[in-house]
Amino acid sequence: MPKESGLKVVATNRKARHDYLVMDTFEAGLVLMGTEVKSLREGRASLVDGFATFYGDELWLEGVYIPEYLNGSWTNHTARRRRKLLLHREELEKIERKTRESGFTIVPLQLYFKDSRAKVEIAIARGKKDYDKRHALREQQDNREALRAMREKNRGSE
């Protein structure tokens, strides 16, 4: 059987970029059980309540929902268990230094398969205030309206 290549996105945390100001992103490997991998290959996962935290000098992903594998037996995994993230030591130290500062957290942005290995894109982020969110939405709306107006103007001149 040929090895799977490319990128297959399983889950995306779209709300993360709305709720947080992303400062830096990292790609991390995941330590998973066999039934978790099978469940992910079916495209079943949710990153909505996910976050990462340090226990000792290791980074762990918590709150990520990977449902039980439907065809699994007694060896099935727990849906919201803590999963270890695999990063280089320098990256772990950089993340730990940054998250010690007030207001920073680690949030998962995307869960995907890269060359048949499960990966998660995590971000060091700072929570946005409500007025920041409103400002960002207003800016997007203004940009959309400006593009629409330019398209209408271009159609009228043809």
Average pLDDT over residues 55-62: 87
For the chain, the structural domain boundaries read 7-127, 129-158
CATH 3.40.50.10140 fits 7-127, yes or no: no
Asked if the model's pLDDT at residue 1 lies above 50, the reply is no
Q: Tell me the per-residue pLDDT of 128-157, one tens digit each, with 9 for 90 and over.
A: 777 677 877 888 888 888 888 888 878 766
Confidence (pTM): 0.73
- The radius of gyration computed from the CA coordinates of the chain, to the nearest angstrom, equals 19
Alpha helices, DSSP H, located in the chain: 14-19, 34-41, 89-100, 130-157
What H or E segment, with its residue span, contains residue 60? strand 58-62
The conformation of residue 3, written as its DSSP 8-state character, comes to P
**SS3 string of 79-113?**
CCCCEEEECCHHHHHHHHHHHHCCCEEEEEEEEEE
Q: Tell me the per-residue pLDDT of 80-111, one tens digit each, with 9 for 90 and over.
A: 788 888 999 999 888 888 888 778 888 898 88
Q: Tell me the per-residue pLDDT of 107-125, one tens digit each, with 9 for 90 and over.
A: 898 888 888 888 899 998 8
